[in-house]
Amino acid sequence: MFNCKSFFLFLVFIIVSFRLSAEQPNILFIFTDDHSHRAVGCYPESPDWVKTPNIDSLADNGIRFANCYMGSWCMGARATLLTGYQTYGIKSMRMEGKYPGSVYDSKKSPFWPAVFRKKGYQTAQVGKWHTGTDNGYGRDWDFQKVWNRPAFPENSGNYFKEQLIQTNGKKAVMTQGYSTDNYTKWAEEYIRGGHGKKKDKPFYLWVCYGAVHGPFTPAPRHLEEYPEVKVKVPADIYPPRIGKPKYSREKEQWVKGENGLPVLKNKRFSGRTVSGKFIHGTDLHSLERQYHQGVLAIDEGVGKLIKALKDTGQYENTLIVFGADQGIAWGQKGFQMKLAPYDGTIRGPLIVSMPKKLPSGKVCEKPVGGADLVPTFFKAAELELPWKMHGRDLTPLLNNPEDKSWKSPLLLAHTGMSFGEDCDEVI
């Protein structure tokens, strides 16, 4: 005899099971600054003495993208990651006032986290904010604890200490402590349920470290690390560079020092601390040692955030993304900077991890960029794109990193410090 009650209960079980299996994931986006792929141990281009065990563990449990070009400079990369547009498509945004002052019209250039909020996500951002004096609290973010550089130009050089921190749009407060550790602490508190986080809603958390931007000051506990650093001197560190454009052919940011090592010619872009002192020296070995020391606190932070996810039972349902706004050159093509349109200055790391749903220990050689991440986040959250974006959803590559049907080339536009209608040239 057919039992209607049993059949109804069976249907309810199936429906509930389907919903649980299709639960919207949390998204943790860990974002670093001026961080070359050569400063992450799991990348073969890194020196063999580089130690980043926690970041490497993400690659062991996920997909490492070998050729990621998030952006060409700090603000541009962030603007792309907030809109899904290349910089030339971002309307109303422009530099204004004392550097790094900048403004935008949120109606002409809406940021997509506001859409996540309306669709049931709780959104949070911790760390460096570098995209307009309006940081979007209450519109784009449910929780925000940030160092708003555009709003406080006089404090904008304090990358690693004594930062003016805004919490949820309130008056900025001078905050002591090493910034990388502070950002980790606040993000970890959020993951563990602090700062108004709700257990019954998925979250998007964007953790924006200021490291390893110049002056790439390490945490005091790391100043003795890497005592025997030796790096390979790039063959093209000194001019002339036959066959290159004039600005590259004649670039001379390094000169040969008394000991034969390259020494930085212009100390403005070197490893000065806020007080103006050099930590180890101005030769290539010493500067790279300081730079790599600055990565160590980031790696420790990654470990703490992963542990917080595991301790709270959120790890299996969290898509973890690790990336950087761009890389930085250490002598490649003669540069010690970003912005230049060369691999050594703009390639950065990108690792995506969610072991229960994505492959582990895989490498994707396809070139990808920052504009691709936003559609990917929407796909992961099972949400429709609110507007047509410039990037492509990377889900096919996440499911199959060696997907031979993926034919999309990468477009990386460098428009200097101009956006939208102010762009008159794209490189």
- So what's the pLDDT on residue 117? 98
Cα–Cα distance, 306 to 54 (Å, whole number): 9
- Whether residue 337 contacts residue 253, with contact meaning beta carbons closer than 8 Å, is answered with yes
- Whether residue 409 contacts residue 69, with contact meaning beta carbons closer than 8 Å, is answered with no
Who contacts 288 (Cβ-Cβ below 8 Å, separation ≥6)?
229, 231, 330
- Print pLDDT tens along the chain (427 aa): 444 444 344 444 333 332 323 589 999 999 999 999 999 999 999 999 999 999 999 999 999 999 999 998 999 999 999 999 999 999 999 999 999 999 999 999 999 999 999 999 999 999 999 999 999 999 999 999 999 999 999 999 999 999 999 999 999 999 999 999 999 999 999 999 999 999 999 999 999 999 999 999 999 999 999 998 999 999 999 999 998 888 888 888 999 998 899 998 876 655 555 455 679 988 999 999 999 999 999 999 999 999 999 999 999 999 999 999 999 999 999 998 888 888 999 999 999 999 999 999 999 999 999 999 999 999 999 999 999 999 999 999 999 999 999 987 899 888 889 999 999 765 5
413's tokens: 């536009």
Query: Which of 408, 327, 394, 300 has the alpha carbon at shortest distance from 354?
Result: 394
Task: Enumerate the H helices of 319-390 as residue ranges.
Answer: 343-346, 370-380
Q: Which residues is 103 bridged to in the sheet?
A: 94
Domains and CATH numbers, the chain: 24-422 (3.40.720.10)
Who contacts 107 (Cβ-Cβ below 8 Å, separation ≥6)?
none
- So what's the pLDDT on residue 53? 99
Continuous segment of H or E residues that includes residue 288: helix 284-311
Query: What DSSP string runs through 25-47?
Result: PEEEEEEESS--GGGSTTSTTS-
The type of residue at 405 is: S
Continuous segment of H or E residues that includes residue 291: helix 284-311
